[in-house]
Amino acid sequence: MTRGKTGRGGSSPAPSSVDVARLAGVSQKTVSRVFNDEPYVSAEVRRRVLEAAEQLGYRRNNAARALASGRTRSIGVVTLGTALYGPASLLIGVERVVRDTGYALRVVNTMEGDPAGLAGAVDSLLDQGVDGIVISEPIDEQSPGGGEPLRIDVPVVAFGAPPPPVTAPTVLTAGRGADLMARAATEHLLALGHGTVHHLAGPQRWYAARDRLTGWRASLTEQGLDAPAAIEGDWSAASGYLAGRELAENGDVTAVFAANDDMAIGLIRALTEAGRRVPEDVSVVGLDDIPVAAYVTPPLTTVRQPFDAMAQEGLKRLVHAIENPNADPLPPSGPPVDLIVRASTAPPPSRTTPAHGRRTVIARRPPSGHPHPGDPKSP
Predicted confidence (pLDDT) per residue in 324-350, tens digit: 999 999 998 877 899 999 999 999 998
Cα 234 from Cα 112, distance rounded (Å):
13
Asked if residue 74 lies in contact with residue 21, where contact means CB atoms within 8 angstroms, the answer is no
Mean pLDDT along residues 136-153: 69
Looking at residues 186-213, what average pLDDT do you find? 96
Torsion angle of C-alpha atoms 305, 311, 316, 318, degrees rounded to 10: 120
Average pLDDT of the residues in 353-376: 39
Q: What does the angle CA 372 – CA 374 – CA 378 come to, to the nearest 5 degrees?
A: 65
Name the range with the highest mean pLDDT among 8-17, 66-75, 274-283, 352-361. 274-283
Q: How far apart are CA 145 and CA 288, in angstroms?
A: 33
- The residue-averaged pLDDT of 157-171 equals 85
Phi, psi of 339 (to 5 degrees): -80, 125
**CA 218 vs CA 184, 187, 188: distances in Å:** 11, 10, 14
> Distance between CA atoms of 58 and 128, rounded to whole angstroms?
11
Task: Tell me: pLDDT of 65 over 90.
Answer: no
Q: Tell me the pLDDT tens digit for each residue of 37-51.
A: 676 788 899 899 889
pLDDT of the residue at 83? 78
pLDDT > 50? residue 144: no
pLDDT band at 323 (very low <50, low <70, confident <90, very high): very high
Termini Cα distance of the chain: 65
Phi, psi of 102 (to 5 degrees): 85, 5
pLDDT of residue 32: 76
- Greater confidence (163 vs 151) lies with 151
- pLDDT value at residue 322: 94
Q: How wide is the angle at C-alpha 164 spanned by C-alphas 158 and 170, nearest 5°?
A: 65
pLDDT, average across residues 59-84: 68
User: Residue 188 pLDDT more than 50?
Assistant: yes
| Alpha-helical regions (H) of the chain | 17-24, 28-35, 43-56, 60-69, 85-101, 117-127, 178-191, 207-222, 237-248, 261-273, 307-323
- What confidence tier does 320 reach under pLDDT thresholds 50, 70, 90? very high
pLDDT of residue 369: 46
User: In the prediction, which pLDDT does 361 show?
Assistant: 33
pTM value is: 0.74
What pLDDT does 142 receive?
59
Predicted pLDDT of residue 3: 42
Q: Is the pLDDT of residue 374 over 50?
A: no
Cα angle 185-310-214, degrees, rounded to a multiple of 5? 35
DSSP per residue, 259-310: SSHHHHHHHHHHHHHTT--TTTT-EEEEEE--GGGGTSSSPPEEEE--HHHH
Segment 148-168 shows an average pLDDT of 84
Is pLDDT at 143 greater than 50 in this prediction? no
What is residue 9's DSSP assignment? G
